[in-house]
């Protein structure tokens, strides 16, 4: 029997699937519906001083006929009144005591203001706080959001202020719009945060109308840089999560965010150490109902792998993300094309010939369209297997070259030790 319950720094939820602080968590109406659908938790749309939003607010990037591979927004924090938000938080918690309800906060960088807001939302019975140090648009111009997250000292300072009064766990939400995620991550830890969540959105301009030259999303002929999210950002999010979880000094639990749409996406974040995950774009695309598939997929996978609880596999991949200099230079693979599966598109040929290492040849006979791998020059780059449209047709096979494992670091060390040691 698989147990999906999750515990992020003391915040428990029936499963690890939370809604991220965003339009889907704007109201009790939405969050209650989401909990009915099966979501384990929700981080409320960020609460702060009153703001006014623009129209329009979202813009997206399509890939071929797939919509919203990436989504960008210039929407700000909640534009509902503090009183409404507090009343609804209280109602949700009353009716859904077992679900995780986290209040997201973003206010001006004043100790008293933070204290006031923390007390007010905690009085509603929320299970935790998420400090929004991440939004890269609008609020950052007013010294909030990513303007805080980009300066580790500010992030640390505000976290400390919050921790002075907070009775519930404090999650610091990090911005990816920095040069090294480790600094703000360690700053949150120094400020005594209980967990971090990442990533917030990435600064972006999603597109331009080629007829009118207006950038998107259009606001009376103009636009602003916005926060990018959706499936396109997942690899960036995974890398930033791994950078923190594999750092020896970083000890906080992580809530993974960034382009999660399928159960596989969620598992990847957890394999890199995330305790739970937060989802936004996929819900903005398909609605709350997608949680069924997330739960089902994760459950089936855990059963197949023999995992009983999330901790059984959490972080399993962390040790496998190494510095490049520690990879084995003598590991050798070459491409292998399955003649029976090949459909003869020859995309692998032209990709390798023009785009990589000229290691695939054509047969020369127009009737035999199966290309041949030139194993003596194949560098084992994977490109052909990536472009091949048939699953399992091109595989990379290990070649036993009889050479012992050696990394660049070891190689340099041997070179430094002199030619005698090298041979």
List the catalytic residues. Answer: 135
362 binding another protein? (CB under 8 A): yes
Q: What is the β-pairing status of strands 333-337 and 274-279?
A: unpaired
In which residue are the tokens 């084992």 written?
Answer: 380
Closest CB to another protein among 329 and 386?
A: 329
Among 53, 296, 303, 330, binds another protein (CB under 8 A): 330
Closest listed residue to residue 250, CA positions, set 318, 310, 200, 311: 318
**Alpha-carbon torsion, ordered 36, 37, 39, 41, to 10 deg:** -30
Stretch that binds another protein, among 96-104, 129-137, 224-232, 340-348 (CB under 8 A): 340-348
Closest CB to another protein among 190 and 369?
A: 369
53 binding another protein? (CB under 8 A): no
Q: For residues 230 and 364, what is the distance between their CA atoms, to the nearest angstrom?
A: 44
In which residue are the tokens 């519930």 written?
Answer: 168
344 binding another protein? (CB under 8 A): yes
Q: Residue-wise over 91-111: b if at least 16 C-beta within 10 A, else e?
A: ebbeebeebbbbbbbbbeeee
Q: How big is the chain, counted in residues?
A: 423
Q: In angstroms, what is the minimal distance from the CB of 369 to another protein?
A: 7
> What is the per-residue binding string for another protein in 384-423, x denoting contact by CB under 8 A?
-----xx----------x-xx-x----x--x-------xx
Closest CB to another protein among 37 and 362?
A: 362
User: How would you class 1 by CB atoms within 10 Å of its CB: exposed for 0-12, middle for 13-18, buried for 19 or more?
Assistant: exposed
Closest CB to another protein among 321 and 343?
A: 343
380 binding another protein? (CB under 8 A): no
Closest CB to another protein among 54 and 347?
A: 347
Q: In angstroms, what is the minimal distance from the CB of 355 to another protein?
A: 12
363 binding another protein? (CB under 8 A): no
Stretch that binds another protein, among 77-85, 151-159, 312-320, 342-350 (CB under 8 A): 342-350
Q: In angstroms, what is the minimal distance from the CB of 265 to another protein?
A: 23
Q: Say whether the peptide bond before residue 230 is cis (omega within 30 degrees of 0).
A: no
64 binding another protein? (CB under 8 A): yes
In which residue are the tokens 């009716």 written?
Answer: 95
Q: What is the β-pairing status of strands 274-279 and 254-257?
A: parallel
Q: What is the β-pairing status of strands 6-8 and 226-229?
A: unpaired
Among 356, 361, 379, 381, binds another protein (CB under 8 A): 379
356 binding another protein? (CB under 8 A): no
Closest CB to another protein among 180 and 330?
A: 330
- Total residues at the site for another protein (CB under 8 A)? 29
Closest CB to another protein among 249 and 354?
A: 354
Closest listed residue to residue 184, CA positions, set 160, 205, 153: 153
Site for another protein in 74-113 (CB under 8 A): none
Q: What are phi and psi of 349, to 5 degrees?
A: -60, -55
In which residue are the tokens 């209040």 written?
Answer: 103
Q: What are phi and psi of 417, to 5 degrees?
A: -75, -5
Among 224, 358, 363, 382, binds another protein (CB under 8 A): 358
Beta bridge partners of 407: 328
Specify whether the CB–CB gap between 240 and 269 falls below 8 A: no
The residue ranges that bind another protein (CB under 8 A) are 64-65, 329-330, 342-347, 349-350, 358, 362, 366, 369, 376-377, 379, 389-390, 401, 403-404, 406, 411, 414, 422-423
């Amino acid at each position: 029997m698989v147990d999906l319950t999750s515990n992020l720094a003391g915040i428990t939820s029936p499963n690890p699937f939370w809604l991220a602080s965003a339009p889907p968590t704007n109201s009790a109406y939405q969050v209650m519906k989401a909990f009915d659908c099966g979501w384990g938790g929700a981080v409320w749309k960020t609460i702060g001083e009153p703001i006014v939003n623009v129209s329009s607010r979202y813009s997206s990037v399509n890939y071929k006929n797939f919509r919203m591979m990436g989504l960008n927004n210039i929407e700000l924090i909640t534009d509902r009144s503090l009183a409404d938000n507090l009343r609804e938080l209280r109602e949700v918690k009353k009716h859904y005591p077992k679900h995780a309800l986290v209040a997201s906060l973003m206010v001006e960088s004043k100790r008293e203001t933070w204290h006031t807001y923390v007390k007010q939302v905690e009085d509603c019975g929320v299970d935790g706080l998420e400090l929004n140090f991440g939004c890269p648009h609008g609020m950052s111009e007013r010294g909030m959001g990513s303007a805080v997250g980009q300066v580790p000292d500010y992030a640390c300072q505000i976290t400390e202020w919050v921790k002075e009064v907070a009775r519930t766990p404090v999650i610091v939400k990090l911005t990816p719009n920095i040069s090294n995620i480790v600094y703000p991550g360690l700053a949150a830890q120094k400020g005594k945060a209980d967990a971090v969540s990442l990533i917030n959105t990435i600064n972006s301009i999603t597109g331009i109308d080629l007829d009118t030259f207006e950038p998107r999303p259009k606001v009376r002929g103009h636009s602003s840089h916005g926060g990018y999210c959706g499936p396109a950002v997942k690899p960036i999010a995974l890398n930033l999560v791994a950078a923190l979880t594999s750092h020896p000094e970083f000890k906080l639990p992580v809530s993974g965010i960034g382009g999660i749409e399928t159960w596989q996406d969620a598992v990847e974040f957890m394999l890199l150490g995330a305790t739970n995950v937060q989802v936004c774009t996929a819900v903005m695309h398909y609605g709350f109902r997608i949680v069924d598939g997330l739960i089902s997929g994760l459950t089936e996978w855990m059963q197949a792998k023999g995992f009983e609880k999330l901790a059984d596999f959490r972080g399993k991949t962390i040790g496998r993300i190494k510095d490049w200099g520690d990879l084995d230079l003598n590991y050798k693979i070459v491409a292998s094309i399955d003649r029976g599966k090949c459909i003869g598109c020859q995309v692998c040929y032209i990709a390798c010939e023009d785009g990589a290492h000229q290691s695939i040849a054509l047969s020369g006979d127009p009737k035999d369209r199966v290309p041949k791998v030139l194993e003596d020059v194949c560098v084992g780059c994977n490109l052909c297997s990536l472009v091949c449209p048939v699953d399992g047709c091109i595989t990379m096979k290990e070649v036993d070259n009889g050479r012992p494992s050696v990394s660049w670091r070891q190689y340099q060390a041997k070179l430094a030790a002199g030619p005698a040691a090298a041979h």
